[in-house]
């Protein structure tokens, strides 16, 4: 589900996080104890070698996903996907998955006002099936339950249907896109395939995923979409999860010049954050811990009730407070003042990364 997100205006010192915790306690909120071991999410930790992840080994590592990034990739997407599928076949049974992402663009840009012209595409492989995923990117995040732009629901849905229909047609998938004034749906015409919808905002799903038990059968459709609608050069990302170090190294050899990022989570305390940042050095990375969760009507006598999460993001640049909500409880022009009142710092609106 899409979220509304704000973050502190500038990086802070770690002492400011301690002050924030005391401030939230003073408001009567249930704040995690600084010594409590919780999930600490690691993002964008740049590693040149797999063994560099061991710099985090003093904390239990629960998940390991590698993201290989090529910011200006050019090439034959069919060969690119086929090589990854062939290597995946050699490592079946590990419960791992591979997915390859590539941006694409709808041809009729004149008709697009409420979404970004660039959409996202993935083709991926798991033990039991392959999948194709298509995601459109709204220009503005309006979360489920928010009423902004409700009068333009039809326009939002028509644009989204245009993206989905274009992708389905070029991919030649057995799917039917149905759009009414109220909602957008997809259904599969096949008996062995399936489709699911996700990533909803106020107007419905922004993403569909098509699943086929024949993984290899999806490579040609994927290549067709990229050949016809993909951009070049393109930011291409490969996601690898659930594999042994030996398998991960083999996948890396398919893209030896790609930058490799670690993404996952460890078990750590809030007071561990300075040590985690130090463990990233000399590379970059980010660590996120959620400090508290609350319903906004516990602090607000007016406005709509919303679910809020206050977290801290640690990086070599410093510490930032983030607040994520399932909807804005107040009018847009009042949100920053209210967040400053709650957290004691000025905030800016900062939607989550689309990946």
110: pLDDT strictly greater than 90: no
Predicted confidence at residue 355, as pLDDT, reads 61
Predicted confidence at residue 129, as pLDDT, reads 95
Predicted confidence at residue 190, as pLDDT, reads 74
253 is written with which tokens? 């050899």
Q: Determine contact, residues 287/42, Cβ cutoff 8 Å.
A: yes
Same domain, 97 and 159: yes
Same domain, 127 and 216: yes
Largest CA distance in the chain: 59
- Residue 67 belongs to some domain of the structure: no
Instruction: Average the pLDDT over 21-28 and give the result.
Output: 97
227 is written with which tokens? 């050949």
Same domain, 301 and 228: no
Q: Select the more confidently predicted residue: 69 or 180.
A: 69
pLDDT digits (tens, 9 = 90+) for 219-268: 999 999 999 999 899 999 999 999 988 999 999 999 999 999 999 999 99
pLDDT digits (tens, 9 = 90+) for 57-98: 999 988 889 999 999 999 999 999 999 999 999 987 767 899
Same domain, 108 and 212: yes
Taking the C-alpha atoms of 144, 146, 147 and 152 in order, what is their torsion angle to the nearest 10 degrees? -50
- Domain end among 216, 232, 248: 232
Same domain, 84 and 210: yes
- Residue 58 belongs to some domain of the structure: no
User: Per-residue b/e over 103-113, b at no fewer than 16 CB within 10 Å?
Assistant: bbebeeeeebe
Q: Determine contact, residues 5/351, Cβ cutoff 8 Å.
A: yes
- Domain end among 187, 203, 232: 232
Instruction: Average the pLDDT over 39-50 and give the result.
Output: 94
Same domain, 207 and 94: yes
Same domain, 178 and 292: no
pLDDT digits (tens, 9 = 90+) for 8-19: 999 999 999 999
pLDDT-derived band at 108 (thresholds 50, 70, 90) equals confident
Residue 316: CATH number of its domain: 3.30.160
Distances in whole angstroms, Cα of residue 224 to Cα of each of 12, 99, 169, 188 = 47, 17, 10, 20
176: pLDDT strictly greater than 80: yes
Same domain, 123 and 19: no
Same domain, 279 and 156: no
pTM: 0.93
- Residue 296 belongs to some domain of the structure: yes
Burial of residue 36 (CB within 10 Å: 0-12, 13-18, 19+) is exposed
Same domain, 28 and 156: no
- Residue 56 belongs to some domain of the structure: no
> Per the omega criterion (within 30 degrees of 0), is the bond before 208 cis?
no
Q: Half-sphere exposure of 73 toward its Cβ, with a 13 Å CA cutoff?
A: 25
- Residue 62 belongs to some domain of the structure: no
Same domain, 227 and 276: no
Same domain, 79 and 222: yes
Helices 273-280 & 14-26 angle (0-180, nearest 10): 150
Residue with tokens 């801290």: 312
Q: Determine contact, residues 251/98, Cβ cutoff 8 Å.
A: yes
Which DSSP string do the residues of 22-66 spell out, in sequence order? HHHHHTT--B--TTS-EEEEEEEEEESSGGGGGGGTTS-EEEEEE
- Residue 254 belongs to some domain of the structure: no
The boundaries of the domain holding residue 200 are 75-232
- Residue 23 belongs to some domain of the structure: yes
| Average pLDDT value over all residues in the chain | 94
319: pLDDT strictly greater than 70: yes
For the chain, the domain total comes to 2
- Residue 156 belongs to some domain of the structure: yes
Predicted confidence at residue 292, as pLDDT, reads 97
In sequence order, the 6+-apart residues with CB closer than 8 A to the CB of 5 are: 322, 323, 324, 325, 349, 350, 351, 352
Instruction: Specify the range with the lowest mean pLDDT, choosing from 181-195, 278-292, 299-313.
Output: 181-195
């Amino acid at each position: 589900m899409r979220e509304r997100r704000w973050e502190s205006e500038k990086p802070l010192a770690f002492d400011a996080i301690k002050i924030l915790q005391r401030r939230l306690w003073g408001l009567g909120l249930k704040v995690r104890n600084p010594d409590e071991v919780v999930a600490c999410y690691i993002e964008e930790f740049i590693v040149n070698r797999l063994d560099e992840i061991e710099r985090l080994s003093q904390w239990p590592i629960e998940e390991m996903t590698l993201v290989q990034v090529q910011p200006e990739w050019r090439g034959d997407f069919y060969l690119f996907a086929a090589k990854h599928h062939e290597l995946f076949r050699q490592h079946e049974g590990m419960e791992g998955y591979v997915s390859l992402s590539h941006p694409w663009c709808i041809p009729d840009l004149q008709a697009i006002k409420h979404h970004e012209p660039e959409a996202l595409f993935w083709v991926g492989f798991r033990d039991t099936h392959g999948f194709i995923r298509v995601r459109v990117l709204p220009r503005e995040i309006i979360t489920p339950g928010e009423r902004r732009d409700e009068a333009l629901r039809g326009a939002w849905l028509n644009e989204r249907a245009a993206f989905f229909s274009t992708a389905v047609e070029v991919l030649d998938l057995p799917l039917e896109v149905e759009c009414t004034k109220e909602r957008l749906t997809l259904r599969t015409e096949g008996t062995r395939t399936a489709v699911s919808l996700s990533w909803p905002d106020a107007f419905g799903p922004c993403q569909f995923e098509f699943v086929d038990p024949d993984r290899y059968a999806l490579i040609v459709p994927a290549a067709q979409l990229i050949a016809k609608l993909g951009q070049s050069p393109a930011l291409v990302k490969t996601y690898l999860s659930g594999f042994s170090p030996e398998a991960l190294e083999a996948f890396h050899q398919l893209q030896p010049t790609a930058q490799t990022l670690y993404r996952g989570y460890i078990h750590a305390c809030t007071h561990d954050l300075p040590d985690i940042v130090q463990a990233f050095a000399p590379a970059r990375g980010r660590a996120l811990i959620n400090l508290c969760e609350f319903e906004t009507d516990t602090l607000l006598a007016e406005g709509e009730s919303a679910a809020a999460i206050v977290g801290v993001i640690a990086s070599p640049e410093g510490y930032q407070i983030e607040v994520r909500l399932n909807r804005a409880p107040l009018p847009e022009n009042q949100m920053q003042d209210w967040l400053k009142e709650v957290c004691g710092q000025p905030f800016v609106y900062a939607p989550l990364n689309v990946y």
